[in-house]
Amino acid sequence: MDFHKYEKIWLVFGILSLVIFLSIVGITAFGQGHTPAGGMDTIDPEKVSEIAPFDNPGVKQLDKNTYEVALVAKAFGYEPSEIKVPVGKEIIFTLTSTDVVHSFTIKDTKVNMMVVPGRITHKSYTFDKPGKYLVLCNEYCGTGHHFMSTEIEVYE
């Protein structure tokens, strides 16, 4: 029996399997790169200031009972810094980041959004009490992370 022949066959088989495996991985990675996961909105992080609604961030009334608050998160703050919204109305927070991953976490509410560069994240919330709400960044984003905060004023 020619031992070397068997060895060669196995070697060829091994290389073939590796090639097939790598092409599958490659195709999968390539495919994912071109399909935004979960139908999430994407945005060019370098052009955020030119793209609506981030070209004019802030509070905008959409209809009688709905408001949109567009915010840009960046190291180490949120733009705009002043946010005033009415109580008892649906507030849609729309956020993106221009640099690294941040969060938009409104204390004592269920709002805890991940803000990722290249993506637009939405979260709807209705405040049932007027007052001042503290917003914090819960994702470590650099030296100024602990100072990254803002405030939302909810008025009657």
Binding mask 93-132 for ligand CUA (x = CB under 6 A): ---------x------------------------------
CB of 140: closest distance to ligand CUA in angstroms?
A: 6
Which residues within the stretch 73-92 sit at the binding site for ligand CUA (CB under 6 A)? 76
Give SS3 for 105.
Answer: strand
Nearer to ligand CUA, 13 or 140 (CB): 140
Residues 6+ apart with CB under 8 A from 15: none
- Distance in Å, CB of 134 to ligand CUA, minimum: 14
Beta strands at 119-126 and 41-42: parallel, antiparallel or unpaired: antiparallel
Alpha carbons 117 and 83: distance in angstroms, whole number: 22
Member of 48, 106, 148, 152 binding ligand CUA (CB under 6 A): 148
For 85-108, letters b (16+ CB in 10 Å) and e give bbeebebebbbbbbebebbbbbee
The contact set with ligand CUA (CB under 6 A) reads: 76, 102, 137, 139-141, 145, 148
